[in-house]
Structure formats: C-alpha cells, structure tokens
Amino acid sequence: MSKQFKRSDAKMHPRLRTGWRKPHGIDSKVRIHRRGYVLSPKIGYATARSLRDRHPGAKLPEKLVSSGRDLEAAQGCVVRLAAGLGKSKKKALAEKARAKGLKVLNG
C-alpha cells in the first residue's frame, strides 16, 4: 500500500478533510519540513516506472477493456472490464478473455 500523506492539522479540526493540501502559511512547520510534522509528498516516494499500473496480485499490467477491439490489444495483461458495460456484453467479453488465457478481475 502506498504512503498516505495527510493534511496538516486535519486531526485538530474535524471539519477539515484529511486529503493532502500543500501548506502555504508563513510560519507553517510542514512547509519548512520540520521533524515530527506531517510528511510532504516528494518524487522519491514514487513507485518505479517499470512497476506502475500493475495489478498487485498478478504482477502484470492492468488493462481496462470496454470492447472486443480492446480485448484483442490486451496481451500478457490482467483485464478489468469497464463499468459501463451491460450484463450480456460483460459476460461475452469475460468468456472471450478466459478463452484467450487472460485473467479477468471483475467478470
């Protein structure tokens, strides 16, 4: 799981959401990276480019499929069927993918 970067002072003020917001205040300890305060996101925390967009269980690239043409382009991938597909198309694409030897995540 990736590191969670929290918003500064989100614990003290319940109405603030916890998602990251860049601190801009003059005296902000988070902005000047003082020890003991919330961590700021930096490029060093990023996952290596070669490992991005991979499904954690299969260790293969994940491909979103919404048509038969997309399925033909998917080679050596894990397939996720698009949410907007109807029941019959989803079933047909899932069967095609399994026949091709691809793993379907949500079908």
| Domains held by the chain: number | 2
Contact 97, 104 (CB under 8 A): yes
pTM (2 decimals)?
A: 0.63
Pair 81, 39 in one domain: no
**Element of type H or E holding 89:** helix 87-100
Pair 5, 35 in one domain: yes
Measure CA 25 to chain center: 30
Pair 10, 32 in one domain: yes
Q: Which pLDDT value is given to residue 52?
A: 85
pLDDT, tens digit, for every residue of 39-76?
A: 999 999 998 998 888 888 878 899 999 999 999 998 88
Pair 78, 95 in one domain: yes
Pair 23, 53 in one domain: no
Q: Which domain holds residue 91?
A: 49-104
Longest dimension (CA), the chain: 61
